[in-house]
Amino acid sequence: MSDTGFIESIAEDIRYAPAIVGAFVFVLLLLFVDKLNPLAQQWLIPSVALYIMGAGIVGYIQSILYARNEQNLPCWQTGLIIAIHVFLWLLLLAYNCHRGVI
């Protein structure tokens, strides 16, 4: 598989959307790291990196479950995946609120 084929397959797969959006935000944060306050530099950037890793792992688990079932996921598995993504997002917000970044 060529590099463009890999990138196209990732772009077409909605399972990795939270990780892709998180990576985009992470790159924007790194571009303007000089203009961020010290709390954001110290706490926000590492927590967004952890969120990206978690969202990527959840997307990978979802793709494994999909491949194992060879069809659409059962409703409860889809709901669980969505709940885990929401939990990761809320955990990111709560952590940064606790640290005083947000």
Q: What is the pLDDT of residues 92-101, one digit of tens each?
A: 999 999 998 8
Per-residue pLDDT tens for 71-98? Answer: 777 888 888 988 999 999 999 999 999 9
What is the rounded CA–CA span in Å between residue 38 and residue 36?
6
Return all residues near 62 (Cβ < 8 A) that are at least 6 apart: 15, 73, 81
CA quadruple 47, 17, 24, 98: dihedral, nearest 10: -20
* pLDDT for res 59: 87
Our separate counts of H helices and E strands in the chain read 5, 0
Q: Catalogue the E-assigned strands of the chain.
A: none
Joined together, the tokens standing for residue 85 give 């993504």
